[in-house]
Structure 1
């Protein structure tokens, strides 16, 4: 299977149902190549497209999931696997810090009352904490992105989400299905686990 076709499968395995545009961003590939690959894979019954409803997009079929499981093991060389393992081990402690920042964004006070975002000073402090986590993540992602090209999209995507948060777009922090920082972070975590052939365990919960 050629690289574009594998990347298309991998993007859907990481993201779930999504568009060709987003799938291409997940695996750092040209959109036209991913769109063409999805069309081909659809003809082979490995992916399917849903339209006309509230949620539209491409997703893997059962056969597509099986095909991806066979291909992902050999999708990187030894150097790439070493870079993925190094990134994963560095990611785990940072993941716990990120979860704490998300908790602080969504709640506040000893009683974990919902954050109504009326205190700009409080929110600014939490955004500063997110920026600190982002800076630490950057060093991890620069290394693995250089070794495994399909991972190179996470750094600019996270940076763009942080810029949106700084510009006042609150949903860009943790809102689901908004290409938020949290959405992209979860995709990165899933990608590392899948690419290394791991299963999620207690260490992944942070």
Structure 2
């Protein structure tokens, strides 16, 4: 697994321009520890800082590319993890992407139009389906979660976003300016790909 400094660098591959507080929300790291890691990374030229936000540099990405194979050897050599990732890519990941499209648009008269979220029943059915897919994802990724609890943290954050969406905050399904289901799912997927050494499917 990644040590705290490496995890700080890694967090910037998941949320690419972020404050220290936002990165701590992603990883669950102690804020002071994370800030110390960022300061060290900036001094090493592995992270850029501007106006209170941080971004990983090509040098930082190069460091991580050298770290991942060793840090995640146990994951990459496990058949259960490979099977779980195959099931994730071909099943729940596609389902979430499809449901996100259904949330953003709806079919009227044979055409797809933007969803104005005026139909509570339509939205409710999608939220219910998303909730079931998230529960299924926890089961699909169980072998990965057993080796890396950060994946479980992503799923908890996705559930939190769903709860807010169910309370009427519609941006929390696919909004890009908040930690929506779609945003956190994308972060989780990127984390899984980096751990397992896979490429993002086309």
TM-score relative to the length of structure 2? 0.89
The gaps in structure 2 that reach 5 residues or longer are none
If asked which structure has higher relative contact order (CA below 8 Å, sep 6+), I would say: 1
Residue correspondence of structure 1 range 2-41 to structure 2 within 5 A: 3-41=3-41
1:49-88 CA distance string (max 9 Å, x none): 111xxxx511111111111111111112425752643432
Partners in 1 of 2:151 and 2:128 — Cα distance?
25
Residue correspondence of structure 1 range 1-206 to structure 2 within 5 A: 3-51=3-51, 57-79=53-75, 82=78, 84-92=81-89, 93-109=91-107, 110-200=110-200, 204-205=201-202
Partners in 2 of 1:157 and 1:140 — Cα distance?
17
The gaps in structure 1 that reach 5 residues or longer are none
1:19-62 CA distance string (max 9 Å, x none): 222222323322222121111111111111111xxxx5111111
TM-score relative to the length of structure 1? 0.87
For these two proteins, the number of residue pairs brought into alignment is: 197
Partners in 1 of 2:32 and 2:77 — Cα distance?
28
